[in-house]
Amino acid sequence: MSRPHRKHLLTSVQMARFVAHGSLRMDAVVPAEMNAQAVDVLREGIPAAPYGAPLAEAFEEGSFARRLVGLPEIAGAIYSLVGPDPTVDHHAVHIRRAREGTAQNLHGDAIIDVRPDAFDVQLMYYPQEVTLDMGGTLSVPGSHLRRTNESDTGRYQNLRGQSRLTCPAGTVVFLHHGIWHGGRRNDSDVDRYMFKIRFNPTVRQLRLWNTDDLYDPAVAAELGRLFPWYEHATGRLEIYNRVKLWQALVGDDSYDPDYWVTRVTNRPTRVVAQRSLNPHARQPTAVGETA
């Protein structure tokens, strides 16, 4: 994947919002003519790609999926989040049948993932308008950096501030692989379709976006955002975790607007000599004294 034009790359504020929320939404980014084709294409199915296939090889030239990821705004977002030449972990067509009467439990899409400085990204494409009664994808903003094992969160039914997606046709949402989410029950008379691709980076995710606004105060504001479901104490830990991720993304370990990281990593190396507890040991010279 060649580097997209700068105008199609994400901004620093958008990247910071992704780091804080665990998601980035692009409404109606897919043209109407592609949306009109999509349901039939998804109903027939997208040919499988082997795990780890380079994006350039995972989908045939001219295919619907290849055209989708090649749209300038989508290609720019993919490049900004995972860089050039990502691989395809897997892809799937998800269908929520009309009046099906069941919903998917809240879950994350990975076993416990201990990577502090890298992440996979999931593209979710909605070819139809998604109304409230169609269910939509439920997600919990700011949940992506909590280390849980896949369906550990399935016992949770509702969390304050959760987001239930409603959107216009052609909307694409990018998710951090760890975000808590689940498909809601479809109570409408229309089958709901969604196409998902998970991307694995093959390069270090370091300043891949348009960094012209890197020092915009809105970056720190996004990184410091709190969400209604956070507990008072561990909510601050979420800020710490996202600042550490941002430091890795920008390659600057000193970035710490509210000193959350500084406080817990402060380990001075200067030693002030003191007398030994052993009375028979040779005593060191104290700082400022002469031998």
What are the DSSP calls for 130-191, one per residue? B-GGG--EEE-TT-TTS---GGGGGG----TT-EE--B-TTEEEEEETT--EEEPP--SSS-
pLDDT in tens, 129-153: 999 999 889 999 999 999 888 889 9
pLDDT tens per residue across span 40-75: 999 999 999 999 999 999 999 999 999 999 999 999
Name 92's bridge partners.
196
Residue 275, domain member (yes or no): no
The torsion angles phi and psi of 210, rounded to 5 degrees, stand at -80, 110
**In this predicted structure, what is the pLDDT of residue 213?**
97
Q: What is the CA radius of gyration of the chain?
A: 23
Query: Could you tell me if residue 286 is inside a domain?
Result: no
256 and 146 co-located in one domain:
no
12 in the same domain as 132? yes
The answer to whether residue 42 sits within a structural domain is: yes
Same domain, 77 and 119: yes
pLDDT score, position 107: 92
Residue 291 located in a structural domain: no
Pair (127, 97) in one structural domain: yes
Q: Is 250 among the domain residues?
A: yes
223 in the same domain as 174: no
Do residues 196 and 222 both lie within one domain? no
Query: Into how many domains does the chain fold?
Result: 2
Q: Please name which of 21, 26, 22 lies closest in space to residue 10, comparing C-alpha atoms.
A: 26
- Whether 17 and 141 map to the same domain: the answer is yes
Residues 49 and 143 in one domain: yes
The confidence score (pLDDT) of residue 285 equals 58
The first and second tokens of residue 117, run together, are 């400085």
Same domain? 166 vs 249:
no
**49 within some domain:** yes
Q: Which of 168, 200, 232 is the last residue in one of the domains?
A: 200
- Hey, what are 35's tokens? 């949306």
CATH of residue 179: 2.60.120.620
pTM higher than 0.85:
yes
Residue 283, domain member (yes or no): no
* Ranges in the chain, pLDDT < 50: none
Among 46, 199, 50, 196, CA closest to 119: 199
pLDDT number for residue 76: 98
Same domain, 144 and 40: yes
Which among 192, 177, 182 is positioned nearest to 105, based on CA atoms?
182
* 228 lies in the same domain as 192: no
Structural domain contains residue 270 = no
What's the rounded Cα separation, in Å, for the pair 248 and 204?
9
Residues 145 and 181 reside in one and the same domain: yes
Q: Supply the range of the domain harboring residue 172.
A: 6-200
